Amino acid sequence: AHTIPVPEEWPSKGEVIFSDAHLRYRPGLPYALEQFDLHIQPGERVGIVGRTGAGKSTIIMALFRMVELAQGKIIMDGIDISTIGLNDLRSRMSIIPQDPTLFASTIRSNLDPFNTRTDEQLWAAIRQAHLVEDNTETASTNKETSADNTDHKSSSNTTQPSQITLDSIVEEGGTNFSLGQRQLLALARALVRNSKITICDEATSSIDFETDLKIQKAMSEGFKGRTLLCIA
C-alpha cells in the first residue's frame, strides 16, 4: 500500500485519537475492540485499567499496528496512522513493556543502540530512572575500572555488576540484573528516546514495591510535557 511521508519532528504534540475503532485478531472472531473512542490530549497522562481480556493490550497492538483496524481510525497529531510506514510509526513512540528485551552487550548500547546520545544524556536518563542514586558524573571517569570489573563479572551468569556504569556488561536478556533493574533499564531507555508518546504496558505488575515506587517517581518527573499511556 502507498504510504505518505511524515515530518521529521512528528509527532510534535502527542495527541492521539481513536475514532470508532474496531479490531479483531482474524476474520470471523469477535471484536477485541468495538466502537472504541478515546481522545488523548497532548501531554496528557492516561491510565487504562480493566480485567484480563477486556482489550487493554489490544489498544497497544492497534497503536503500533501489530494488528490493523477492521474499521475506524487512529489519528496521531493529525495523521491517520494507517497511511504511514510502519517504521515511521513505531520509531516515533516508546514502550516500557512488562517483560523488557535486553541485548547481550553493554548498558550504553542497550540504552542508545545507534550511538546518538552523549554520555551526559545517558547518565541523566539512568539517574531519572533511579537505576543509580549517586552523583556519578560521566562514564569516562570510570571507564578503565568498569571495563576490568565487567570483564571479570561476565564470567558468571548470576553475578551483578558491583557498580553500574555505561560500560557494564548486560548478558542476554539482562539475566545478570534483577527483574526490577531490568525494568528500570527499560524505563531509562524510554527516557533516552525522548518520544512525544510513551506507552507503559503493565510495567510494574511483576516487580517489588521499592522498584514500583522508583518507576512511579520517574514517570512523574521524567515524562513532563509528553503523552503517557499506562495500561494496568
Higher-confidence position of 127 and 143: 127
Reported as half-sphere exposure (CB side, CA atoms, 13 A), residue 184 has a value of 26
Q: Tell me the average pLDDT across 113-142.
A: 80
Q: Assign residue 164 a region (left: φ > 0; alpha: ψ between -120 and 50; beta: otherwise).
A: beta
Q: Which of 46, 39, 91 is nearest to 65 (CA)?
A: 91
Domain spans of the chain? 16-91, 105-197+208-222
Q: Which of 41, 91, 56, 96 is nearest to 81 (CA)?
A: 91
Q: Enter the pTM of the model.
A: 0.84
Q: What is the pLDDT of residue 1?
A: 63
Q: Tell me the average pLDDT across 82-90.
A: 97
Contact status, residue 110 vs residue 173, Cβ threshold 8 Å: no
Q: What is the pLDDT of residue 161?
A: 61
- What's the grid cell of residue 26? 482474524
pLDDT tens per residue across span 185-217: 999 999 999 999 999 998 788 788 999 999 999
Q: CA-to-CA distance for 8 and 210, rounded, in angstroms?
A: 38
Domains 16-91 and 105-197+208-222 share a fold: yes
Q: Tell me the average pLDDT across 213-223.
A: 91
Q: Tell me the average pLDDT across 100-119.
A: 96
pLDDT tens per residue across span 135-166: 654 433 333 333 344 343 333 444 556 689 99
Q: For the domain 16-91, what is the CATH superfamily, name and number?
A: P-loop containing nucleotide triphosphate hydrolases (3.40.50.300)
Is 130's pLDDT higher than 90?
yes
- What's the grid cell of residue 53? 481480556
Q: For the domain 105-197+208-222, what is the CATH superfamily, name and number?
A: P-loop containing nucleotide triphosphate hydrolases (3.40.50.300)
What average pLDDT is seen over the chain? Answer: 88
Q: Which of 97, 116, 100 is nearest to 108 (CA)?
A: 116
